[in-house]
């Protein structure tokens, strides 16, 4: 399969800074992957996202080395508008990215900017709302929406442009637990039903591990792990070594395993931990 | 320390955001205030330092009716840490920022310096006193904001999502500082969406739902009534969730909150059942 993203030897140092924000990143992403990025503050997560949607190098000054190909296009030689047809972006603060006063207008905004015919816009809006499952919000005022609803509108606006890739930088950091779950459910559905390639930066490790298929752990500008969550959780030091937490249920079973009470794989979720505990009870539970 | 009596609050021309709340927080308590976005958490916190005043009912801080006292007076009793440190940092050096409150109180130069040093030591910012806060990391700026509250020596610390936007280590650092203050006798009230933090730090949990109190109990008892929490779309932290998957958890494990407690319950009581199976 031809990769949808290919990054070769990417390094970036912000103008005025001495320390590189990214150093020597090499990864490829196949169409339809669902990837999570995590890492401590200053790891380079947001910088990497900005390299994917072309903001770097087009709008951010600094020293750029290496190559990023998005669907075959080198981002250095490609106009940012062209990149934005391929890569949809959703950011942390829903307030900062919503510009229109109704949900419908918000979704139309990007389409109008791409010069699309009104009838086409109408069809795209209906389709995007349906894909995200928020048809009921169509005529609502954006200011009355909850945080989770606003982020889903932001995702719908990005999806309406039919990008191949959706990148999200901590989309749930302002959200309550329900809003967080709503966002991840929508991402999962977009990934599974429409094959959208998704890359999401997230600090909430418990929910991240439950949904994604591949995890990038970053630290000090480098990619320190790139594996499926199940492999990562079975080497907890990959996370704890860079100051991150592993989910409490994984930690519990890790300790039981270390003490000889259990000898299987470590669980990623509460549900898996339940089955792990039953197994170590010898079926008595 | 804090008395809330039949508090109702509505923003001008709006529906009530808080409806008929009554509770007390005693000196030295460590309280988490949880609830969905829009439940009224921040609105309630702002009643504690007089930024907002009751529409009906009364809020008393250390005996002072908030409607009859100034925010200046209340600020000496209640320190307020906002979610975003940049909303409360505005001076060119860390030392000036931390000293701003005491200077406004009319403290002497020596007293200000003493308080700045003490607060800086408490949050580990001593090496940065002459730096510009803008060039510090977000976690460090949060500590600058925190130290500038400490220098006012408030009895009560109110923290609105103090760990949002920070990584795990920074979040824990802030909460450990808060815990140290609690051990020194401060009253702590914090808002968070992170149930793992609640389980780890809070002794008492107040659950707000649509401007009313849904539950007000020890953290343990709140997290062991998931049916009530679910009514406002919240879930307990992971360990209580896992424990409650077992039908007879009360007899077998009790009500553990932490990994440590559950691990002990498994390895101590269920010893023979858990022997080295594979």
Q: Closest to B239 (Cβ–Cβ): which among A177, A248, A281?
A: A248
Reduced to 3 states (helix: H, G, I; strand: E, B; else coil), residue A91 is coil
Q: How high is the mean pLDDT of chain B?
A: 91
Task: Kindly give the residue spans of alpha helices, DSSP state H, lying in A21-117.
Answer: 45-52, 55-58, 80-86, 94-97, 103-113
- The nearest alpha carbon in chain A to B261 belongs to A252
H or E stretch at A151: helix A147-160
Query: Residues near A189 by Cβ (< 8 Å), separated by ≥ 6?
Result: A131, A133
Verify that B266 and B219 share a domain, yes or no: no
Which residue in B198, B234, B208, B161 sits closest to B7, CA to CA?
B208
The CATH fold of domain A5-238: Rossmann fold (3.40.50)
What pTM, to 2 d.p., does this model score?
Answer: 0.89
Q: Is residue A270 predicted with pLDDT exceeding 70?
A: yes
Domain-wise residue ranges, chain A: 5-238, 247-285
pLDDT digits (tens, 9 = 90+) for B86-127: 888 889 999 999 999 999 889 999 999 999 999 999 888 999
Measuring CA to CA, which residue among A274, A258, A261 is closest to residue B272?
A261
Q: Specify whether B14 is located in the same domain as B88.
A: yes
This complex has an ipTM of 0.87
Residue B176: give its domain's CATH number: 3.40.50.300
> What pLDDT sits at residue A284?
41
Position B181 scores a pLDDT of 92
pLDDT > 70 in chain A, percent: 98
B112 touches chain A (CB under 8 A): no
For position B275, what pLDDT does the model report? 43
Residues B101 and B178 in one domain: yes
Categorize the per-residue pLDDT at A280 as very low, low, confident or very high, splitting at 50, 70 and 90.
confident
Domain that holds residue B255: 238-278
Instruction: Find chain B residues with C-beta within 8 A of A273's C-beta.
Output: 238, 242
Chain segment B250-269, per-residue pLDDT in tens: 998 999 999 999 999 998 86
Residue B274 has pLDDT above 80, yes or no: no
**Residue B38 in this model has a pLDDT that exceeds 90:** no
pLDDT in the model for residue B269: 63
A241 Cβ under 8 Å from any chain B Cβ: no
The reported pLDDT for the residue numbered A117 is 93
Residue of A285, A254, A258, A261 whose CA lies nearest to A273: A254
Please check whether residues B82 and B217 belong to one and the same domain: yes
pLDDT digits (tens, 9 = 90+) for A67-83: 999 999 999 999 998 99
| DSSP symbol at A29 | E
Write down the pLDDT at residue B221: 97
A260 touches chain B (CB under 8 A): yes
Distance (Å, whole) CA B128 – CA B125:
5
pLDDT digits (tens, 9 = 90+) for A126-144: 999 998 989 999 999 998 8
pLDDT of residue B277: 42
**Each residue of B2-13: pLDDT tens digit?**
999 999 999 887
Q: What's the pLDDT at B276?
A: 42
Q: Are residues B50 and B179 in the same domain?
A: yes
Same structural domain for residues B9 and B133? yes
Region B133-150 average pLDDT: 87
> Would an 8 Å CB–CB cutoff place B230 in contact with chain A?
no
Q: Are B17 and B60 members of one domain?
A: yes
Q: Are residues B68 and B133 in the same domain?
A: yes
Give the residue-averaged pLDDT of B231-253.
94
Rounded Cα distance, A152 and A186, in Å:
8
The pLDDT assigned to A116 comes to 92
Q: Buried b / exposed e across B97-115, counting CB within 10 Å, b at 16+?
A: bbbbbbbebebeeeebeeb
For position B273, what pLDDT does the model report?
53
Q: How confident is the model at residue B54, as a pLDDT?
A: 96
pLDDT band at B30 (very low <50, low <70, confident <90, very high): very high
Q: Report how many domains make up chain B.
A: 2
Alpha-carbon distance B86 to nearest alpha carbon in chain A (angstroms) = 15
Return the number of CB contacts < 8 Å for A and B: 108
Test mutation, B168, B192, B251, chain A, max A CBs within 10 A: B168
Cα distances (angstroms) measured from residue A40 to each of A65, A243, B145? 23, 7, 21
B207 & B244 share domain: no
3-state secondary structure of A160: helix
Residue A244: closest C-alpha in chain B = B168
What is the CB neighbour count within 10 angstroms for residue B134? 9
Is residue A281 very low, low, confident or very high in pLDDT (cuts 50, 70, 90)?
low
B232 plus B269 within the same structural domain: no
User: Does residue B78 register a pLDDT over 90?
Assistant: yes
Calculate mean pLDDT across residues A162-179: 91
Residues B246, B148, single domain; the answer is no
Beta bridge partners of B89: none
Task: Judge if B158 and B249 occupy the same domain.
Answer: no
Cross-strand pairs, B79? B157
Confidence (pLDDT) at B139: 81
User: Cβ atoms within 10 A of the Cβ of B183, count?
Assistant: 10
| Alpha helices in B54-108, H assignment, sequence order | 71-75, 94-104
Identify which of B137, B259, B276 has the shortest CB distance to residue A42.
B137
Which pLDDT score is estimated for A258?
A: 92
What is the distance between the alpha carbons of residues A111 and B93, in angstroms, rounded to a whole number? 46
Mean pLDDT score across all residues of chain A: 93
């Amino acid at each position: 399969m031809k990769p949808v993203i290919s990054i070769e030897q990417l390094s970036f140092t912000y103008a005025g800074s001495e320390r590189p924000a990214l150093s020597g990143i090499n990864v490829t992403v196949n169409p339809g992957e669902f990837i999570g990025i995590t890492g401590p503050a200053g790891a380079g997560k947001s910088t990497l996202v900005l390299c994917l949607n072309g903001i770097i190098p087009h709008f951010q000054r600094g020293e750029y080395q290496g190559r990023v190909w998005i669907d075959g296009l080198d981002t250095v030689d490609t106009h940012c508008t062209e990149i934005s047809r391929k890569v949809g972006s959703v950011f942390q603060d829903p307030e900062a990215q919503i510009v229109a006063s109704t949900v419908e207008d918000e979704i139309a905004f990007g389409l109008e900017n791409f010069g699309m015919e009104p009838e086409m816009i109408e069809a795209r809006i209906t389709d995007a709302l349906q894909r995200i499952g928020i048809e009921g919000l169509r005529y609502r005022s954006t200011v009355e929406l909850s945080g989770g609803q606003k982020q889903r509108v932001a995702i719908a606006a990005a999806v309406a442009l039919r990008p191949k890739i959706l990148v999200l930088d901590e989309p749930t950091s302002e959200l309550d637990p329900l809003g967080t779950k709503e966002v991840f459910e929508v991402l999962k559905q977009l990934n599974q039903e429409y094959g959208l390639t998704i890359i999401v930066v997230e600090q909430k490790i418990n929910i991240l591990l439950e949904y994604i298929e591949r995890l990038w752990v970053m630290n000090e500008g480098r990619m320190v792990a790139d594996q499926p969550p199940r492999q990562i959780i079975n080497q907890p030091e990959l996370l704890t070594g860079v100051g991150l937490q592993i989910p409490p249920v994984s930690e519990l079973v890790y300790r039981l395993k270390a003490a000889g009470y259990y000898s299987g794989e470590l669980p990623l979720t509460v549900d898996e931990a339940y089955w792990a505990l039953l197994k170590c009870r010898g079926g008595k539970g | 320390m804090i008395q809330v009596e039949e508090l109702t609050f509505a923003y001008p021309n709006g529906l009530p955001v808080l409806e008929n709340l009554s509770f007390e927080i005693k000196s030295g308590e460590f309280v988490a205030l949880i609830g969905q976005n829009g439940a009224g958490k921040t609105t309630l916190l702002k009643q504690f330092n007089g930024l907002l005043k009751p529409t009906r009912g009364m809020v008393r801080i250390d005996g002072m009716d908030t409607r009859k006292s100034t925010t200046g007076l209340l600020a000496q009793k209640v320190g307020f840490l906002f979610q975003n440190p940049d909303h409360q940092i505005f001076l060119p050096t860390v030392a000036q920022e931390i000293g701003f409150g005491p200077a406004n109180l009319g403290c002497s130069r020596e007293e200000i310096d003493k308080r700045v040093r003490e607060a800086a030591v408490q949050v580990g910012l001593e090496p940065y006193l002459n730096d510009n806060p803008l060039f510090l990391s977000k976690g460090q700026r949060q500590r600058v904001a925190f130290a500038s509250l400490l220098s006012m020596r408030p009895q009560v610390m109110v923290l609105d999502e103090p760990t949002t936007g920070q990584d795990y280590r920074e979040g824990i650092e802030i909460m450990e500082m808060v815990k140290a203050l609690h051990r020194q006798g401060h009253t702590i009230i914090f808002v968070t969406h992170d149930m793992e933090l609640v389980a780890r730090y809070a002794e008492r949990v107040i659950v707000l739902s649509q401007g009313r109190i849904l539950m007000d109990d020890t953290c343990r008892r709140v997290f062991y009534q998931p049916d009530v929490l679910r009514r406002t779309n919240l879930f307990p932290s992971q360990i209580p969730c896992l424990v409650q998957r077992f039908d007879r958890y009360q007899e077998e494990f009790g009500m553990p909150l932490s990994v440590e407690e559950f691990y002990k319950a498994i390895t101590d009581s269920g010893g023979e059942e858990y022997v080295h199976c594979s």
